[in-house]
Amino acid sequence: MSLTLTLWLLAAALIVCVFAGWRGARPSDFLRPRMVPWRFIMLLAGAMIFLLLVHLGALMGFTRPS
């Protein structure tokens, strides 16, 4: 994957994570139940951010210490 695509995916995952965190933190309304699991989406986006940051480090030339 190229550096440009990695940065675009990282920005998109960050936006999704912030939006899902905002939606998941809203108080619940018992008359209108939540149909979208916002906290789980935030967790998945956070995991994708972590993986993309590791991939970005690998693209920049960082390696594991041996």
In a 10 Å sphere around its CB, with 0-12 CB exposed, 13-18 middle and 19+ buried, how is residue 42 labelled?
Answer: buried
Selected residue with higher pLDDT from 50 and 65 = 50
Residue 54 has pLDDT above 90, yes or no: yes
3-19 residue pLDDT tens: 999 999 999 999 999 99
Residue 19, pLDDT score? 97
The SS3 assignment for 37 reads coil
Q: How far is CA 60 from CA 1, 28, 42, 56, in A?
A: 13, 43, 27, 6
Tokens of 10: 């990282």
pLDDT of residue 26: 87
Report pTM.
0.84
pLDDT single digits (tens) 14-41: 999 999 999 998 888 888 888 889 999 9
CA atoms within 13 A on the CB side of 43: 4
- Bridge partners (DSSP) of residue 40 are none
